Amino acid sequence: MAFTGFTYVFLLMTIMGSPVGAQVVNWGRCFDFAVQRNFNTTAYLGIWYEIEKFPASFERGQKCIQATYELKDTGHIQVTNEGINIETGEATSIVGDAYAPDPNEPAKLKVKFFWWQPAGDYWVLHTNYDTYSIVYSCQDFLGIVRVEFAWILSRARTLDDRILAKLLSDLQSMGLDIGYFQPTDQTGCDEEKEKEHYLIFS
């Protein structure tokens, strides 16, 4: 899609005018990070819990955030993101579709949650499949500004502090500003789900 001068200025104003802490916006192009070599999609399927993340407006006010990845008959991956609203205690969920445009780079996925929405990046930078995963996403506008997202995920609701420190150190050595990372509250999640189950079936 071609940007007119007005559209480009409007996008810049919208991005740079986002509420503080809502998004990570920086000047320049997106990083072209190396991704997981020989990425095994099947081994990556299942549930991942969010441990730390770059702030994102679409996750604001949520705790107990988790994602479930399931293989579809089409070869795409069904993505189900779930969370709990911190203020109301209500469960939230959204279902999307992920796929690898280039089969030679299966760790560079695209994901979208609405048919009208352009697909966003979901790059698996590093994972051991059983314990942790580092995911990066970025969109730049004509190479002038970029909007970045990053997540550290775990197969459990907690991640060993030593592993987390090592992952953050690795990301910092790659050039990512780890100061943007914020921890995700994963406490009391099972109690919230039990309460929700009781309300539904009581």
Distance in angstroms (rounded) separating the CA atoms of residues 113 and 96:
4
Task: Give the model confidence (pLDDT) of 70-118 as tens digits.
Answer: 999 999 999 999 999 998 899 999 999 999 999 999 999 999 988 777 8
Q: Over the chain, what is the mean pLDDT?
A: 84
Residue 191, pLDDT score: 67
Which domains can be identified in the chain, with CATH numbers? 34-185 (2.40.128.20)
Cβ-contact 159, 152 below 8 angstroms? yes
Looking at per-residue confidence, does 140 or 4 come out higher?
140
Claim: this prediction has a pTM higher than 0.85: no
pLDDT (tens digit per residue) in 119-146: 889 999 999 999 999 999 998 888 788 8
Strands (E), the chain: 24-27, 46-53, 62-71, 77-85, 91-99, 108-112, 120-127, 132-141, 145-154, 182-183
pLDDT more than 90, % of the chain: 64
In the predicted model, what is the mean pLDDT of residues 143-151?
89
Q: Is the dihedral of CA 47, 50, 55, 59 positive or negative?
A: positive
Q: Averaged over 153-172, what is the pLDDT?
A: 97
